[in-house]
Amino acid sequence: MTLKAVLLILDGLGDFQYRKLGVKTPLEAARAKNLNLMAKTGETGFMFSIAPGVIPGSDTAHLSIFGYSPKKYYFGRGLYEALGAGVELKEQDIAFRANLATIENNVLVDRRAGRKSDFLKSLFEELNGISVEDVTIIAKHSSEHRGVVVLRGPGLSDKISDVDPHKVGVPISYCHPLDDSEEAKKTARIINHLMHSANEILERSKNNALRKDHGLLPANALLLRGAAKYHTAEPIYEKTKAKFSCVAGGALYKGVAKFVGMDVVDVPGATGDKFTNLRAKLEAAIKAKENSDVVFLHIKATDSFGHDGDYVGKKQFIEKVDREIISGLMKNFDVIVVTGDHSTPCKRKEHSGDAVPLLIWGENCRADKGTFSETNPSPTLFIRGEDLINIILNKIELLKKYGE
């Protein structure tokens, strides 16, 4: 019998202490008996997913945790979002992460159209297939306010600026070429034209009329960022001789997993938000185990609570994960690794460069005297993300000796 491992990433898990939580972090304040039990009998420590002090994006952090240095394998967020949304990319395509947003008198008032996804799928469909010059636009909704836009046509470049200004109260930025090439100039021109056409189509859409009837902000502007060309990487199976599956809700995580050649499982009800169906994800992970050595299980909501500054919500969500997922994993996997891809402290409402807590439990583990927390008094592991896969493969006895 071969040993099976699950790598559970609670996105943005790491945090700071809050007085209202009894000077504890959300993870420390959570009543999480299963996680505590694993910490008592497992190995604990800290991980910097990229390097000490580096503030990771979720995309670069996951690449690093899967053993693919982001310095070499990060090509812009659009690539991973498009792969995760199930767009079949071609050689010359340029892919973008897309938000539908709200503008009023040309000023951006909400970058996520109120974070309400009603009718967004249909609105993305209205943009799908339009053309600008000799370029066709592929537009696809993924989850919540998120989606993907791909430009398909000759002579395009990823060397262009983002139009997403990343803040409200200002107009959407013009797209500029970032080098002198004809390709970059053409791509910037097409994006500026597309911004205008998308706004017109969205403004007169009946789906936006329906949003207004429901008291929602209109999703009347397209925000693009993270331009990326199509790239491939050596599959993780070739590198490790181990089989990996991915169970995730968000397109970005499925996309990074697909990029490194994991088998990506579709889970109905895995929405990538706080209403995600955790039990469905647990069942999918147990099923995925049949055909893989390591199952990567991603849960996003911890990060969203961090971005919203909601430390009580974050604590309660960790309790829910402990109740609905952890004991099921303990019954079904030989080795369990729980960690985050980075910290998203509620106090900062953004990612930070602080280490994330790490817990490894099961076969071939020593019981250290540490805790699974940001203030672990007795950690035995201090690692970078790039070492994690080797550590897991060692535990499930799939590593070969290095030397004689």
DSSP 288: H
Q: Which is nearer to Zn ion, 93 or 374 (CB)?
A: 374
The CB-of-176 to Zn ion minimum distance in angstroms stands at 27
The CB-of-233 to Zn ion minimum distance in angstroms stands at 20
The CB-of-180 to Zn ion minimum distance in angstroms stands at 35
Report the interface residues with Zn ion, using CB under 5 A: 11, 58, 303, 341
Task: Lay out the sheet containing 356-362: strands in order across.
Answer: 263-265, 244-247, 294-299, 5-10, 335-339, 356-362, 43-48, 381-384
- The helix (H) or strand (E) run that includes residue 202 is helix 182-203
Q: Which is nearer to Zn ion, 100 or 301 (CB)?
A: 301
Residues 6+ apart with CB under 8 A from 41: 361, 365, 367
Q: Are 375 and 15 in contact (CB under 8 A)?
A: no
The CB-of-9 to Zn ion minimum distance in angstroms stands at 8
Spatial distance between the Cα atoms of 64 and 367, rounded to a whole number of angstroms: 27
Q: Are 244 and 287 in contact (CB under 8 A)?
A: no
Distances (CA, A) of 175 to 51, 155, 191, 290: 32, 17, 7, 47
Q: Which residues are bridge partners to 136 per DSSP?
A: 131, 152
Q: Which is nearer to Zn ion, 58 or 208 (CB)?
A: 58
Q: How many CA atoms lie within 13 A of 44 on its CB side?
A: 22
The CB-of-209 to Zn ion minimum distance in angstroms stands at 32
Q: Which is nearer to Zn ion, 325 or 346 (CB)?
A: 346
DSSP assignment of 292-337: -SEEEEEE-HHHHHHHHT-HHHHHHHHHHHIIIIIHHHHHH-SEEE
Encoded tokens for 95 = 């892919």
Residues 6+ apart with CB under 8 A from 181: 157, 159
Q: Are 143 and 271 in contact (CB under 8 A)?
A: yes
Q: Which is nearer to Zn ion, 230 or 259 (CB)?
A: 259
SS3 assignment for 333-395: CCEEEEECCCECCCCCCCCECCCEEEEEEECCCCCCCCCCCCCCCCCCEEEEHHHHHHHHHHH
Q: Which is nearer to Zn ion, 59 or 334 (CB)?
A: 59
Q: Which is nearer to Zn ion, 177 or 250 (CB)?
A: 250
Q: Which is nearer to Zn ion, 58 or 240 (CB)?
A: 58
The CB-of-184 to Zn ion minimum distance in angstroms stands at 29
The CB-of-344 to Zn ion minimum distance in angstroms stands at 5
Q: Under DSSP, is residue 160 helix (H, G, I), strand (E, B) or coil?
A: strand
Q: Which is nearer to Zn ion, 43 or 303 (CB)?
A: 303
The CB-of-349 to Zn ion minimum distance in angstroms stands at 10
Residues 6+ apart with CB under 8 A from 106: 171, 172
Query: What are the helix and strand counts (H, E) for the chain?
Result: 15, 14
Spatial distance between the Cα atoms of 124 and 160, rounded to a whole number of angstroms: 22
Q: Which is nearer to Zn ion, 339 or 371 (CB)?
A: 339
The CB-of-246 to Zn ion minimum distance in angstroms stands at 15
The CB-of-154 to Zn ion minimum distance in angstroms stands at 35
Residue nearest to Zn ion (CB): 58
